[in-house]
Chains A and B, each alone.
Chain A
Amino acid sequence: MADPLLTIEKLRTYFYGESGVARAVDGVTFSVGAGETVGLVGESGSGKSVTALSVLRLVRPPGRLEPGSRIVFEGRDLATLGERELRTVRGARIAMVFQEPMTALNPVFTVGEQIAEVVRIHAKASRHDAWQRAVEMLHVVGMPSPAERAKEYPHQLSGGMRQRVVIAMALVMNPALVIADEPTTALDVTIQAQILELLQELQRRFGMSILLITHDLGVVAETVSRVLVMYGGEIVEEAPVKTLFAEAHHPYTEGLLAAMPRLGESRERLRTIPGTVPPPTRWPNGCRFHDRCPYAWERCTSEHPPLYQIGDGHVSRCHLAEEPARRNQPHDPFIMRETSAGGGRDGVRGARENTAERSARS
């Protein structure tokens, strides 16, 4: 890529809690080109949402961006930008679309007022002009009879309609980058497709870049050109979307793909990845995925893998890159051996702490 719009380097976001330092995002580096759509994929707790919040420095204490993190956007480093200048970026140059259209809108104002508010924050517009802009924007996102709908409150709209309003709020200032954090997770499947189609349509018209955060590989396959897979606060694999689906390298990505339900393929049960993401206060030594990995060997428990170059634009954080033969010898992951050896209680505690950690962050 010649000149990326957003370049994130060694992004680290740590949360300082009573149970220790949670390294939710731990050295993430990637870039988003102008007009590009990049997918950021991972399980709950992998650090993808915290990454999204970190880009706009929306992480609140006890979480903070560690020194050395760089977020270069349109020539400025957002990691060190003052709060005042940062506010001119938020909502105007970079906008976010959130997961829950139910709670992402303020219940006491009409949707028109909420879109108009964004205009009035960033542009010197009169109340009337801002309202006109809001109505136009509702039209753009495909809201039927926008002038009337603008006067309604969020609770009067359906989930899909609300998400259209959230998208209208994000796009009203014509940002260069839209970060969409699980924009379709809370919606019905049919509405999901409409919202994704809308995002793509708007991208074609306005040319903004999209960073799409999701746990749904199906969404990724249809929408993005490049995929970043996150696990344990790190990027574990990055590849063009076609490459990722055809020849995923990292065992975690492999697991995610295997866990996807496929049409026309009858299976007794859906495959899953054993265990859960470990708590960010205690990432395992070596490869952070080793206890859940079917190929892990001694090296994986001690040596933290770097991002190996696999192919053109394809990198993977897995030692298999150097010892590909080991892929032919899958075994039960360590986490399952521990469980059968009476380590069950430990596993349960780990899972519970992980849940607590996540709820503390959300």
Chain B
Amino acid sequence: MPSPTHVSEPADRLATSVVAPSTAPVVSAPARRARLTGTFWWSLALIGLLCLVAVFATQLAPYPPNAQLDIVALKSQPPSAAHPLGTDQYSRDLLSRMLFGARISLSVAMLAVLLSATVGTAYGLVAGYVGGRVDAVMMRLLDACLAIPRVLLLVAVLALWSPVPLPALILVIGLTGWFEVSRLVRAEVLSVTQREYIVAARALGASGPRIIWRHVLPNVLNPVIVAAALGVGNIIILEAGLSYLGIGARAPTASWGSIFFDGSDAFQATWWIALFPGLAIIVTVLAFNVFASALRDALDPHQLAGDRAR
């Protein structure tokens, strides 16, 4: 190829002749950033705070989470200066248990969502991109999986596998949660692969895997991110429910669901044991749901166009 450094006259002339139209209004990066609302930031801040609490539970907790401090004197004490959230019926400090519970609840939810989002995205990408008979078989298989009631399946598996180690709990929840994600991804892939830049990429010599990785995946990721944010909230509730049924986190391990379970027997007498984990679950789930919807608004190109027209 001739060295492109010496550019001929006409190209330069052309270059200058089109400077004017290029100044037409376009959506710039700052305009995009401006779409991240206050809602987005406070929900993100709350989630960040919860994560910090979970990470630094060891440093923050005044007592070890499973220590029975004084089974006689400190049994089921209401909130006080020494024990801000009170103690449970085994004289364990509730605040410490809550902090360690955050660790279990959040990590189970986040890792399970990470797993299901990854598996679901990969499955949907392959089905949507390969298409044809492969797609048909993969989708019928998915229909079959979707027909299984998730909670019943989880109850059955976890009841048979008791006590269940935490990684297994994450695995089981994660591997039963990807069906919806892969439907979502497949639908997006079908629409993205119709775009001309996919044909253009093939015309320029890109291989199938490269096209999937560079051109399809980044363009189908937005709905997955939103679904994942929503999914974390759902799984916190699911995990709490499973713990409440006694088949989630193993007995002495504190998760918000298991603490709630400890307190639910005698709610009228020792209300604080169930109330605080309940509140924690509500606030966390709310934060993730609000975050997900703010994220959807920020990522949705249709909303962006609507905003410009306004």
Contact = CB atoms under 8 A, between A and B. Distances in A.
Interface residues of B, number: 40
B205 A91 contact: yes
A262 B135 CA distance: 51
A107 interface: yes
Nearest to B193: A60
Interface in B1-28: 1-2, 4-5, 7-8, 10-12, 14-19, 21-22, 24, 26-28
B154 interface: no
Interface string B93-132: 0000000000000000000000000000000000000011
B6 to A, nearest CB: 10
Q: Which of B8, B199, B218, B219 has the most CB of A within 10 A?
A: B199
B209 to A, nearest CB: 12
A58 B203 contact: yes
Given A100-B196, A104-B196, A166-B200, A90 B22 contact: no
Contact of A157 (B12, B14, B22): B22
A169 B196 CA distance: 14
Contacts of B150: none
A143 B18 CA distance: 9
B18 A144 contact: yes
A140 interface: yes
B267 interface: no
A108 interface: yes
Contacts of A136: 4-5
A64 interface: no
A87 B205 contact: yes
Interface of A: 53, 56, 58, 61, 87-92, 95-96, 98-100, 103-109, 117-118, 121-122, 136-137, 139-144, 155-158, 160-161, 166, 169-170, 174, 191, 194, 197-198, 201, 205-206
Interface of B: 1-2, 4-5, 7-8, 10-12, 14-19, 21-22, 24, 26-28, 131-132, 195-197, 199-207, 210, 214-215, 218-219
5 contacts: A87-B206, A87-B207, A122-B205, A142-B11, A194-B18
Given A95-B203, A158-B24, 6 more contacts: A87-B205, A117-B214, A118-B205, A139-B7, A141-B11, A158-B22
